[in-house]
Amino acid sequence: MDLLPLFKGLADPVRLRIIHLLTQKEPLCVCHLTDALALPQSTVSRHLNTLKHAGLVQSERKGQWIYYHLCNNHPAIDTLLSLIRQQADSDSLLQQDLQQLEKSADC
């Protein structure tokens, strides 16, 4: 099992924030994530593409929107998601992201 792509996918604070939001609510479209993270669409899309290539997220088109959800087929994913959830309990930025997600309107 090659863990390098998995760790490269998680090696950025924005990507960790995206994964955290997807652990709380999925599927999410880019518009939900841009609102929650207060980042431009291009930035969020670039990070989602990296996560997709790392095998951490999958996408599904529904009409004009693309929705993202976590992949559960990687042997290490459950352990990694557990670590991210534990970190979220003490990370104010991750908590703020989640609050913003809950406020965001549907696409």
Which of 12, 25, 101, 94 is CA-nearest to residue 53? 12
Tell me the pLDDT of the chain (107 aa) as tens digits. Answer: 577 888 888 899 999 999 999 988 889 999 999 999 999 999 999 999 999 998 899 999 998 889 999 987 767 777 877 887 777 777 788 888 888 888 875 65
List domains and CATH numbers for the chain.
4-96 (1.10.10.10)
Helix, strand, coil: what percent of the chain each, to 5?
Answer: 60, 15, 25
Residue 29's beta-bridge partner residues?
67
Q: DSSP 3-state assignment of 106?
A: coil
Q: What's the pLDDT score for residue 5?
A: 80
Q: What's the pLDDT score for residue 68?
A: 95
Q: What's the pLDDT score for residue 17?
A: 93
